[in-house]
Chain A
Amino acid sequence: MSGQQINPDDALYVDMFIAKNSQTMTFIRSSYSAILGLAAGTLGLTNWSGFIFYFVGSAFLSVLIFALKTKGSPSLYFRQPLDVFTEGVLGGLLSYILFWTLLYGIIHIYD
């Protein structure tokens, strides 16, 4: 904060709404990653295919959010427009692994 150049465009963003938006993003992402994990476990994906499934699925979700939720202009809703594609992707990975492991174990390890 101190001393550095302050971008006058920052005034365009209301912190409360930015926080709300990123909360919504976290909500969507975490629900989605759990569901994706259930799908991957049911399909019995292993090794890299599971991780690729997750990242492809997340990219698909990002495109959906980009197209439907932000109507193609994410800079209206986020400070960094790229946040739409990156925010919460790695945070959801842990949930994904948990549910992937759970369903994979229940369906394919125990008979």
Chain B
Amino acid sequence: MGAWTVIQERQAMLLDPAIRDWVLLPIMVVMILVGVVRHHITVLLNGTPKKADLKSARETKGLQRGAVLRAYGSHLPEHAFEARKAYITDAFEKGTYLKDPKGGNKPKGNVMQDPAYVEGMMDGMKKNMMNIVPQTVIMGWINFFFSGFVLIKLPFPLTIRFKSMLQRGIETQDMDVTWVSSLSWYFLNLFGLQSVFTLLLGSGHAADAMRDMQAMSTMGMGAATNPQMGPTGQPQDMHKIFLSEKENIELTEHEWGLENVEIRLLVKYGKLPRSILEDQKKAKAVGNASSSSSSSAASSHVASSTSPSQATMAAAAAAASASKKKGRRQA
């Protein structure tokens, strides 16, 4: 009987409308406004992005060139690919693209004297302060004025585990878990207002709550925009990065994108059975033959099995030779 009345009382908890008008809505409005202000301050602070000087731009682009070759090497004919591979691995090995080709390893001691490094660190610090300060101030405000307020009730039940999360600042054992305290309302807002900011400021805004969390965990080291900084904020040894990229390139096998293109074309338009392609795959896997011999074998296979229209074959060959020319011109 007693338990029943407790439940009844729990369900019938009444909240003063003044709480809604003076606590619930103001917290939300303040958070939205602070988010908007912070977005604009961040935009102002960032200003125009700092221009990289010629040497460091060359360094990053050189590295990118290796990655591009690995990714899109299949568009080049064999000889062009090999030429690039030889050139790039050689250049990476020797450190041609390094900012300071002969410098080798920098002594770690004078990192703080490097103005670029210090500037990057200050930049990251500034941005992080922009993220942390407003959140701390709002949290302090809510804690100071509204601690212990019950603001709202969640429309869905939760397990007792969430009690500490949703009822921060309220030490009541028996209250239903779904009632939300002021500080927890703040957290709900922090994560839920993303969509409002997206609507108000467009996507890619700088009022991101997720970034705050990151900022709090990696305080002072937000210089991820600088390619020379590792995740820990230490400048990395670029030569090592170049060497590992070189190894990756050496491991990359060339696969000519137009290999067997005539057969693939005929298969696509239904002139040849699809099984031919699978046969080729098998043959390749078994024999591990070089690309030239397998393609010649395949073309003889075509000639023997069916009589493909000569025009299509000629067109495919023309396309192949055209792209070869293009590749040579680029080299």
Contacts and interface: CB of A to CB of B under 8 A. Distances in A.
Interface in B116-167: 151-157
Interface string B13-52: 0010101100010001000000000000000000000000
Contacts of A23: 203-204
A98 B203 contact: no
Contacts of B20: 105-106, 110
A10 B155 contact: no
Contacts of B193: 95, 98
B191 A104 contact: no
Given A6-B70, A8-B257, A94-B192, A47 B155 contact: yes
Interface string A41-83: 1001111101100000000000000000000000000000000
A34 to B, nearest CB: 4
Contacts of A105: 20, 24, 151-153
A92 B257 CA distance: 41
B203 A26 contact: yes
A102 B153 contact: no
A88 to B, nearest CB: 10
Given A2-B248, A27-B203, A106-B20, A101 B195 contact: no
Which DSSP category, helix, strand, loop or mixed, fits chain A's interface? helix
B322 interface: no
B87 interface: no
B194 interface: yes
Given A11-B72, A50-B155, A110-B15, A95 B194 contact: yes
Contacts, number: 97
B299 interface: no
Interface residues of A, number: 40
Given A31-B199, A34-B196, A98 B15 contact: no
B71 interface: yes
Given A11-B72, A30-B199, A50 B191 contact: no
Contacts of B157: 47
User: Shortest 5 CB-CB distances between A and B: which pairs?
Assistant: A98-B192, A30-B195, A105-B152, A95-B195, A34-B195
7 contacts: A11-B71, A23-B203, A92-B195, A98-B193, A106-B20, A109-B15, A110-B15
Interface of B: 15, 17, 19-20, 24, 28, 67, 70-72, 74-75, 151-157, 180, 188-189, 191-196, 198-199, 202-204, 244, 248, 251-252, 255, 257
Interface of A: 1-3, 6, 8, 10-11, 23-24, 26-27, 30-31, 33-34, 40-41, 44-48, 50-51, 91-92, 94-95, 97-102, 104-106, 109-111
Given A26-B198, A97-B154, A105-B152, 19 more contacts: A2-B251, A3-B248, A11-B71, A24-B203, A27-B198, A27-B202, A27-B203, A31-B198, A48-B156, A50-B156, A95-B195, A97-B188, A98-B192, A100-B155, A101-B153, A101-B155, A105-B151, A105-B153, A110-B19
